[in-house]
Amino acid sequence: MSGLALKGTTWVTVRQYRRTLWLAGAVVALVGAVLGALWIWDARVPDTYTQGGRTLPAQTDTGRHLLDLAVGEVANGMLLLPVLLGAFVAGPLIAREYESGTYRLALTQSVGPAAWLRAKLLTVTVAALVAALALTVLYRLSSGHLTDTRLRDFDLGPYEVTGPVLFAQLLAAVAVGALLGQLVRRTLLAMAATGAVLGLVLLVIGALRWSLVPVRTITGPNGDVLMPRDNGLLVDTGLLTSTGARFDRAICWQEANTTPGVDADHDLWTTAHERCLARHDVTGQYVDYHPQSHFWPTQFIETGILLALAALALFAAFRVLRARHP
């Protein structure tokens, strides 16, 4: 067991931030306790009841409703983990060491600058990944229990928790926090800068996420609304002319809305709208969507982008460290 004991800078880091680590563990335990209690509550309520010799579905299940809400909040809350982790790394973990000058003491204990930074980053990374893994398992177990949940893997929050993207975000957060913490060297400023940079990066990647894999398109005659197949993710929908060109449906909506008398006669609006479609030779409609099969390719591509960003930021962080402490 002595071989597993923490030593050197790693022991110092764990000892220094033991309260934060205990707090993170307490949060994970609390989430597990709440989800477990709601799961038991839901399991105690039968899905059906008998009335007049007929078996009917249960009309209310407060436990399942609350469990559904709790699972959604866990997914949404985990969206903040990378930003919080990056701010912690940049601020209290690194910038405060420079701001207070305590890093000099560590560097006088036969510990090189690279080993000092590496021990700190490794400690917080392992703790963050373990906590994220525990929360992910809790989320997956709870959401798997909800066969009628409103959440989908394509949704913001469940998407990150379902695959490796969340763990790549955490690694990128650690690397960006390490870099900005050394560049800024002021606790609050480093935390603010890291939060802003990570927030911007995650927003940009999230906005481009569904452009990483080409969409599929289905077409049909203009009439009944087309829906994505296989419960896929709807990206865009619109109208088509007889030549196959896409047509902006807002044109005919605006034209029908400006027709005199439409406010008092809905049939007049419908007639004006249909005339506009006929004049522009609109004959069909299209739907651009991502099927379920695009989920994992998108996850892996985004994970690769985030890991590349993490590697670049980490490389830059150690270059800055070596430049200032050769």
pLDDT in tens, 163-176: 899 999 999 999 99
Q: What angle do CA 198, 29, 6 make, to 5 degrees?
A: 75
With tokens 């960003």, the residue in question is 309
pLDDT in tens, 47-69: 554 545 554 455 555 677 788 88
- pLDDT higher than 90, residue 301: yes
Q: Which residues contact 19 (CB under 8 A, 6 or more apart)?
A: none
Higher-confidence residue of 43 and 48: namely: 43
Residue 212 CA to residue 138 CA, distance in Å, equals 29
pLDDT given for residue 60 in this prediction: 57
pLDDT given for residue 47 in this prediction: 59
- pLDDT higher than 70, residue 241: yes
With tokens 């940049």, the residue in question is 90
pLDDT in tens, 257-276: 888 776 767 778 888 888 99
| Band of pLDDT at residue 253, cut at 50, 70 and 90 | confident
Q: What is the mean pLDDT of residues 89-111?
A: 79
- pLDDT higher than 50, residue 1: no
Q: Model pTM?
A: 0.85
